[in-house]
Amino acid sequence: MEGVHFLVAFVLLASASTFVSASDPSPLQDFCVATNDENGIDGGMFFVFFKKIFVNGKFCKDPTLATPEDFFLSGFNNPRDPLNQVGSVVTLANDEQIPGLNTLGISIARIDYSALGGQHPPHIHSRATEILVVLEGTLRVGFVTSSPDNRLFTKELNPGDVFVFPAGLIHFQENIGSSCAVALAAFNSQNPGDIAISDAVFGSDPPIDPDVLAKAFRMDKNVVHQMQLRS
Protein backbone atom coordinates (compact mmCIF):
# COMPACT_ATOMS: atom_id res chain seq x y z
CA MET A 1 0.00 0.00 0.00
CA GLU A 2 2.85 2.39 0.77
CA GLY A 3 4.22 1.73 -2.70
CA VAL A 4 0.88 2.69 -4.26
CA HIS A 5 0.74 5.89 -2.20
CA PHE A 6 4.29 6.75 -3.26
CA LEU A 7 3.48 6.16 -6.93
CA VAL A 8 0.36 8.32 -6.76
CA ALA A 9 2.28 11.10 -4.99
CA PHE A 10 5.07 10.89 -7.56
CA VAL A 11 2.60 11.12 -10.47
CA LEU A 12 0.88 14.13 -8.91
CA LEU A 13 4.23 15.85 -8.36
CA ALA A 14 5.29 15.16 -11.92
CA SER A 15 1.97 16.50 -13.20
CA ALA A 16 2.33 19.66 -11.12
CA SER A 17 5.78 20.30 -12.54
CA THR A 18 4.33 20.61 -16.03
CA PHE A 19 2.36 23.68 -14.98
CA VAL A 20 5.58 25.63 -14.34
CA SER A 21 7.42 24.36 -17.40
CA ALA A 22 8.70 27.09 -19.70
CA SER A 23 7.85 25.08 -22.82
CA ASP A 24 5.83 22.08 -23.91
CA PRO A 25 6.81 18.94 -21.96
CA SER A 26 8.99 16.45 -23.77
CA PRO A 27 7.16 13.27 -24.82
CA LEU A 28 8.00 10.04 -23.00
CA GLN A 29 6.80 7.81 -25.83
CA ASP A 30 7.09 7.72 -29.61
CA PHE A 31 3.84 9.61 -30.09
CA CYS A 32 0.49 10.38 -28.49
CA VAL A 33 -2.09 10.69 -31.26
CA ALA A 34 -4.74 13.08 -29.94
CA THR A 35 -8.27 11.79 -29.56
CA ASN A 36 -11.40 13.00 -27.81
CA ASP A 37 -12.59 9.41 -27.38
CA GLU A 38 -11.67 8.17 -23.92
CA ASN A 39 -12.47 4.61 -25.05
CA GLY A 40 -9.54 4.72 -27.44
CA ILE A 41 -6.91 5.75 -24.92
CA ASP A 42 -3.70 3.91 -24.24
CA GLY A 43 -4.41 1.57 -21.34
CA GLY A 44 -1.01 1.55 -19.64
CA MET A 45 -0.39 1.12 -15.90
CA PHE A 46 -0.87 4.84 -15.38
CA PHE A 47 -4.57 4.45 -16.03
CA VAL A 48 -4.95 2.04 -13.12
CA PHE A 49 -5.02 5.17 -10.94
CA PHE A 50 -6.42 7.72 -13.40
CA LYS A 51 -9.18 6.41 -15.65
CA LYS A 52 -9.54 9.66 -17.56
CA ILE A 53 -6.26 11.42 -18.34
CA PHE A 54 -5.46 14.27 -20.69
CA VAL A 55 -2.04 14.91 -22.23
CA ASN A 56 -1.97 18.58 -23.26
CA GLY A 57 -5.76 18.55 -23.19
CA LYS A 58 -6.21 15.41 -25.27
CA PHE A 59 -6.58 11.70 -24.70
CA CYS A 60 -3.93 9.44 -26.26
CA LYS A 61 -5.19 7.03 -28.88
CA ASP A 62 -4.08 3.44 -28.45
CA PRO A 63 -0.81 3.47 -30.47
CA THR A 64 -1.74 0.18 -32.17
CA LEU A 65 -4.71 2.01 -33.72
CA ALA A 66 -2.63 4.89 -35.14
CA THR A 67 -2.46 5.30 -38.92
CA PRO A 68 -0.39 7.43 -41.33
CA GLU A 69 -3.41 9.73 -41.68
CA ASP A 70 -2.91 10.78 -38.03
CA PHE A 71 0.36 12.46 -39.07
CA PHE A 72 -0.80 13.98 -42.36
CA LEU A 73 -2.46 17.17 -43.63
CA SER A 74 -3.02 18.21 -47.23
CA GLY A 75 -3.98 21.48 -48.87
CA PHE A 76 -1.55 23.73 -47.05
CA ASN A 77 -0.53 25.15 -50.42
CA ASN A 78 -4.05 26.41 -51.13
CA PRO A 79 -4.38 30.21 -50.79
CA ARG A 80 -7.14 31.71 -48.67
CA ASP A 81 -8.92 35.01 -49.20
CA PRO A 82 -7.43 37.63 -46.82
CA LEU A 83 -10.07 40.27 -47.57
CA ASN A 84 -11.13 41.01 -44.01
CA GLN A 85 -10.73 43.92 -41.60
CA VAL A 86 -6.98 43.40 -41.05
CA GLY A 87 -6.11 41.97 -44.45
CA SER A 88 -4.71 38.60 -43.39
CA VAL A 89 -5.90 35.08 -42.69
CA VAL A 90 -4.07 32.41 -40.68
CA THR A 91 -4.33 28.71 -41.53
CA LEU A 92 -3.11 26.78 -38.50
CA ALA A 93 -1.83 23.21 -38.39
CA ASN A 94 -1.76 21.93 -34.81
CA ASP A 95 -3.06 18.83 -33.04
CA GLU A 96 -6.61 19.67 -34.13
CA GLN A 97 -5.65 19.28 -37.80
CA ILE A 98 -2.81 16.74 -37.30
CA PRO A 99 -3.65 14.50 -34.31
CA GLY A 100 -0.21 12.86 -34.33
CA LEU A 101 1.39 16.23 -33.60
CA ASN A 102 0.07 16.09 -30.02
CA THR A 103 2.85 16.31 -27.34
CA LEU A 104 5.57 16.89 -29.97
CA GLY A 105 5.91 20.57 -29.09
CA ILE A 106 5.59 22.07 -32.57
CA SER A 107 2.99 23.61 -34.87
CA ILE A 108 2.93 25.58 -38.09
CA ALA A 109 0.75 28.19 -39.76
CA ARG A 110 0.28 29.58 -43.24
CA ILE A 111 -0.46 33.32 -43.37
CA ASP A 112 -2.00 34.98 -46.43
CA TYR A 113 -1.80 38.80 -46.62
CA SER A 114 -3.78 41.09 -48.91
CA ALA A 115 -1.87 43.54 -51.13
CA LEU A 116 -0.76 46.98 -49.92
CA GLY A 117 -1.22 46.92 -46.18
CA GLY A 118 -2.55 43.50 -45.29
CA GLN A 119 -1.18 42.76 -41.85
CA HIS A 120 -1.09 40.40 -38.92
CA PRO A 121 -1.60 43.12 -36.28
CA PRO A 122 0.49 43.39 -33.10
CA HIS A 123 0.01 40.22 -31.10
CA ILE A 124 1.71 37.88 -28.64
CA HIS A 125 2.35 34.14 -28.59
CA SER A 126 2.48 33.47 -24.87
CA ARG A 127 3.82 29.93 -25.15
CA ALA A 128 6.12 29.89 -28.18
CA THR A 129 8.91 31.44 -30.19
CA GLU A 130 7.94 31.96 -33.84
CA ILE A 131 10.16 31.59 -36.89
CA LEU A 132 8.74 33.05 -40.10
CA VAL A 133 9.77 32.41 -43.70
CA VAL A 134 8.38 34.52 -46.56
CA LEU A 135 7.25 32.53 -49.59
CA GLU A 136 5.71 35.32 -51.69
CA GLY A 137 5.64 39.12 -51.52
CA THR A 138 7.39 41.67 -49.33
CA LEU A 139 6.70 42.02 -45.60
CA ARG A 140 7.73 44.54 -43.01
CA VAL A 141 8.01 42.70 -39.69
CA GLY A 142 9.11 43.56 -36.20
CA PHE A 143 8.95 42.92 -32.48
CA VAL A 144 9.28 45.10 -29.38
CA THR A 145 11.38 44.16 -26.37
CA SER A 146 10.06 44.24 -22.81
CA SER A 147 10.30 47.15 -20.38
CA PRO A 148 12.09 49.34 -19.71
CA ASP A 149 13.69 49.51 -23.16
CA ASN A 150 10.70 48.77 -25.45
CA ARG A 151 13.17 48.61 -28.31
CA LEU A 152 11.81 47.93 -31.80
CA PHE A 153 13.55 45.35 -34.01
CA THR A 154 12.20 45.61 -37.55
CA LYS A 155 13.17 44.26 -40.96
CA GLU A 156 11.93 44.18 -44.56
CA LEU A 157 11.60 40.59 -45.79
CA ASN A 158 11.49 39.20 -49.32
CA PRO A 159 10.85 35.65 -50.57
CA GLY A 160 13.26 33.24 -48.91
CA ASP A 161 14.00 35.53 -45.96
CA VAL A 162 13.57 34.24 -42.41
CA PHE A 163 12.86 36.17 -39.19
CA VAL A 164 12.49 35.10 -35.55
CA PHE A 165 10.05 36.52 -32.99
CA PRO A 166 11.08 35.63 -29.41
CA ALA A 167 8.42 34.09 -27.19
CA GLY A 168 6.10 36.43 -25.35
CA LEU A 169 7.08 39.65 -27.19
CA ILE A 170 4.67 41.87 -29.11
CA HIS A 171 5.27 41.45 -32.86
CA PHE A 172 3.62 42.14 -36.21
CA GLN A 173 3.81 41.61 -39.97
CA GLU A 174 2.63 43.96 -42.74
CA ASN A 175 2.54 43.47 -46.49
CA ILE A 176 4.22 46.47 -48.08
CA GLY A 177 4.11 45.06 -51.61
CA SER A 178 1.61 45.62 -54.42
CA SER A 179 0.64 41.94 -54.60
CA CYS A 180 -0.58 39.39 -52.09
CA ALA A 181 2.00 37.85 -49.78
CA VAL A 182 2.36 34.41 -48.20
CA ALA A 183 4.47 33.27 -45.26
CA LEU A 184 4.91 30.14 -43.16
CA ALA A 185 5.30 30.46 -39.40
CA ALA A 186 6.58 27.62 -37.21
CA PHE A 187 6.29 27.46 -33.40
CA ASN A 188 8.01 25.46 -30.67
CA SER A 189 4.64 24.67 -29.10
CA GLN A 190 1.64 22.68 -30.29
CA ASN A 191 -0.54 25.48 -28.86
CA PRO A 192 1.41 28.76 -29.04
CA GLY A 193 -1.54 30.97 -28.13
CA ASP A 194 -2.41 34.13 -30.04
CA ILE A 195 -3.28 37.27 -28.10
CA ALA A 196 -4.24 40.13 -30.43
CA ILE A 197 -3.37 43.27 -28.47
CA SER A 198 -6.22 45.48 -29.69
CA ASP A 199 -8.84 42.75 -29.44
CA ALA A 200 -7.74 41.74 -25.94
CA VAL A 201 -7.58 45.31 -24.62
CA PHE A 202 -10.61 46.89 -26.31
CA GLY A 203 -12.71 43.79 -26.93
CA SER A 204 -12.54 42.03 -23.56
CA ASP A 205 -15.72 40.54 -22.09
CA PRO A 206 -16.76 42.21 -19.87
CA PRO A 207 -15.14 45.46 -21.05
CA ILE A 208 -12.22 47.00 -19.18
CA ASP A 209 -13.18 50.24 -17.43
CA PRO A 210 -12.71 53.03 -20.05
CA ASP A 211 -11.09 55.20 -17.37
CA VAL A 212 -8.32 52.63 -17.04
CA LEU A 213 -7.70 52.46 -20.79
CA ALA A 214 -7.96 56.23 -21.27
CA LYS A 215 -5.21 56.75 -18.73
CA ALA A 216 -3.07 53.88 -19.97
CA PHE A 217 -3.21 54.95 -23.63
CA ARG A 218 -3.45 58.71 -22.97
CA MET A 219 -6.70 58.83 -24.94
CA ASP A 220 -10.01 60.58 -24.50
CA LYS A 221 -12.48 58.28 -22.74
CA ASN A 222 -15.03 58.77 -25.53
CA VAL A 223 -12.51 57.47 -28.06
CA VAL A 224 -11.87 54.43 -25.86
CA HIS A 225 -15.59 53.79 -25.66
CA GLN A 226 -15.92 53.98 -29.46
CA MET A 227 -13.05 51.51 -29.90
CA GLN A 228 -14.68 49.13 -27.44
CA LEU A 229 -17.90 49.26 -29.43
CA ARG A 230 -16.05 48.43 -32.66
CA SER A 231 -14.11 45.48 -31.21
Tens-digit pLDDT profile for the chain (231 aa)? 555 444 444 444 444 444 444 467 777 789 989 987 766 555 444 443 444 455 456 788 889 999 999 999 999 999 999 989 999 999 999 999 999 999 899 999 999 999 999 999 999 999 999 999 999 999 999 999 999 999 999 999 999 999 999 999 999 999 999 999 999 999 999 999 999 999 999 999 999 999 999 999 999 999 998 999 887
Distance, CA of 28 to CA of 30 (rounded, Å):
7
Neighbour count for residue 199 (Cβ, 10 Å): 13
Identify the CATH number of the domain defined by range 88-202. 2.60.120.10
User: Could you tell me where in the chain the CATH 2.60.120.10 domains are found?
Assistant: 88-202
Neighbour count for residue 211 (Cβ, 10 Å): 10
**CA-based nearest residue to 59, from 47, 44, 41:** 41
